[in-house]
Amino acid sequence: MMVKHSIVSFLYFEVQNSGYTINEGNYFDDPDFRPYITVYDVPDDTEVKGAMLVSLGGAFLFRSEIQEGANVAEEFSKLGYVSFVVHYRVDPYTEEESGIDISRAIKYVRYHAKDYGIDEDKIAVVGFSAGGIANGHAVLDFGHGEDGGIIDESYQADSLDKVDSMPNAVIMGYSFYGRLSVADLNEDTFKDFHLPPTFYVYGTEDPFYSQFNAQVDLLKKLDKNIDSLVLNNYPHGFGIGGDWSYDVVAWLDHVLDK
């Protein structure tokens, strides 16, 4: 089954690290890189259920474009979710800049929801490792109307910045809310925050296994809408492996129809 895909450039207007002008081989992207998305359409014979934004892992040093990008988008598109791989900024940019790129991507998808044949209230994000952390920044730091001006005073807001950027559901692929390698286990971060329904999928052989468990337990204690799937003997970085996509779609069918 062939999945059609296309590229949309200039998700983000004009924000760049002014100190980065020459790539001497130390960075994944050149200085003229601008965040963009690759769109994977639902096959013609498949009912559209919603949108899935895919945020790639790579420790904020690179983007795992195939294992945690194209492969994931193709799978979810076949399952009824128009999928958008978000090619966000990585080093020398910060986690916050990565997060606001994803926030901008959510605004773009919601703004163009009718064009893609999706419901603007059925937009999910899935992120892997660093991509999940970046999604967490998009939710916790930039999910309530913030735009690029929060980190760059020269940013010029546009019509997309009037759109709600909070996703309707979050899937953490061997990831968590927090910062690189460190889960946020502070109750104060979450107790008064209207967190979107969140689904965790991770393996027992992941070096961050205990942190995933701890955050899931914390959010359940705080009565957040949390579910999880633990894959026995799976390590970090398994991408779409393990057939977990079917569990996620069943979960989305429930949480997005409320």
Looking at residue 2, what is its pLDDT? 43
Would you state the structure tokens that stand for residue 99, as one six-digit string? 């997060």
- What are the structural domains, with CATH classification, of the chain? 5-11+40-147+162-255 (3.40.50.1820)
Q: What is the pLDDT of residue 14?
A: 47
Taking the C-alpha atoms of residue 183 and residue 198, their distance in angstroms, rounded to an integer, is 15
Q: If we measure between CA atoms, which residue out of 89, 106, 85, 100 comes closest to residue 137? A: 100
CA atoms within 13 A on the CB side of 22: 1
Residue 76 neighbours by CB distance under 10 Å: 29
Is the separation of the CB atoms in 37 and 90 below 8 Å?
no
Q: Are 80 and 249 in contact, with CB atoms under 8 Å apart?
A: yes
**CA proximity to 203, closest of 125, 133, 129, 124:** 129
pLDDT in tens, the chain (258 residues): 445 556 665 455 444 455 788 999 999 999 888 899 999 999 999 999 999 999 999 999 999 999 999 999 999 999 999 999 999 999 999 999 999 999 999 999 999 999 999 999 999 999 999 999 999 999 999 998 888 888 777 788 888 889 999 999 999 999 999 999 999 999 999 999 999 999 999 999 999 999 999 999 999 999 999 999 999 999 999 999 999 999 999 999 999 986
Distance CA 202, CA 224 (A): 19
Residue 92, preceding peptide bond in cis (omega within 30° of 0) = yes
Say how far apart CA 137 and CA 148 lie, in whole Å.
Answer: 13
* H-assigned helices in the chain: 71-78, 95-111, 113-116, 130-140, 187-190, 209-221, 244-255
pLDDT reported for residue 147? 83
Other C-beta atoms lying within 10 Å of the C-beta of residue 229:
16
**pLDDT at res. 21:** 84
Rounded to two decimals, what is the model's pTM? 0.94
Output the pLDDT for position 251. Answer: 98
> Distance (Å, rounded) from C-alpha 194 to C-alpha 141?
12
